[in-house]
Amino acid sequence: MDIHSVGFEKHLEEAEAFHGHLCGGIVSGVRMALRGLKEIGIRDPKGEDRKNLIVIVEIDRCATDAITSVTGCRPGKRSMKIKDFGKMAATFINLESGQAVRLASKGRKDSEQAGSLEDAIKAASDEELFWIQHGSAPLGAGDLPGRPVRRVVCARCGEAVMDMRDLFVNGESLCQPCAEGGGYFIPGGRA
């Protein structure tokens, strides 16, 4: 099925159902996903092209759910990477052709316009909404979908580390938290 032959409103309905409500982030994320796929020549992201697509999102908010709904990419399938920089942005990578495009919100002040945010985003052109940059997004073997490339045990904490995410420090393979002196979790601590 050609994703671009399905109407925008249908994609929007599916994304709204997936996310739970309609908001500016959902409308923007659907627009971003459709344009990103078009730019890299992906026509059937949930079918024939599903193994040729990786998306890197830069925010853990509503737009990510919309992009997931449209593309079918998910972190658990290793076809979506989340690099939370707090930016409404995503990079779409065609693994077969090597093409990559990054779309980032221009940060319009839609709330100052008459009407709803959702309607303002729908009415704007892609060029008004997004910075669109073509380039490359190099991925290593440990970034690709499929079975883990390598699995090691951290020499300090004893936990398993997959897909080349360990760091070699002073002759030892360590997980990132041990190598960097701690992570986000504090054992026995209280929030």
Contact 162, 148 (CB under 8 A): yes
Rounded CA-CA distance 65/38 in Å is 19
Domains and CATH numbers, the chain: 3-141 (3.30.1330.130), 147-185 (3.30.60)
Average confidence (pLDDT) per 10 residues, the chain, 191 residues: 81 96 95 98 95 97 97 96 96 97 82 71 94 94 90 95 94 94 75 58
Output the pLDDT for position 182.
79
Q: pTM here?
A: 0.87
- What value does the CA radius of gyration of the chain take, rounded to a whole number of Å? 19
d(CA 176, CA 68): 27
